[in-house]
Amino acid sequence: MEERELLEVSAETHGRIPGAVLMRLSGKLAGSEVRRFHSEVSRVLDGGIKTIDVDLEGVSYIDSAGIAEMVPIHQTVRAHGADLKISNPRRLIRHILLSAHLNDIFEIGEAADPRGS
């Protein structure tokens, strides 16, 4: 039986950017883990956060569910009056996100430094 790599999500506030949080993801953004990620985004937003930078550097795989959920996640973020940015996707994941034209919906770029420097 193949061991499944679960998605890990951590969140930390930006040092000098009030109302901003850096969410670091690692593992596979796939299947039921996608809904868990959406729930974590909602939880962060409920805390009054206005900017979410999602660092995908540690994400090794994204499936169609992961790609499809990016739009509802973005809609949730916008409904809270907040902004969403995707940072540091690996080359293949960046290619997938761009091929899905998700860069037309939200920014895909480099990660901001959580220490504010």
pTM for the whole thing? Answer: 0.86
Total domains, the chain: 1
In 10 A of CB 13, how many CB atoms?
Answer: 15
The pLDDT score that the predictor gives to residue 66 is 94
The pLDDT score that the predictor gives to residue 85 is 94
Residue 30 is part of a domain; what is its CATH number? 3.30.750.24
For the segment 11-31, the average pLDDT, to the nearest whole number, is: 88
Of 72, 22, 73, the C-alpha closest to 49 is 22
Q: Copy the structure tokens of residue 62.
A: 């994204």
Say if 97 falls within a structural domain: yes
Say if 2 falls within a structural domain: no
The pLDDT score that the predictor gives to residue 115 is 52
Say if 117 falls within a structural domain: no
What pLDDT, in 10s, does the model give residues 56-109?
Answer: 999 999 999 999 999 999 999 999 999 999 999 999 999 999 999 999 999 998
What pLDDT, in 10s, does the model give residues 46-55?
Answer: 999 999 999 9
What residue type is assigned to position 90 of the chain? R
Say if 1 falls within a structural domain: no
Q: Which residues span the domain enclosing 102?
A: 8-109
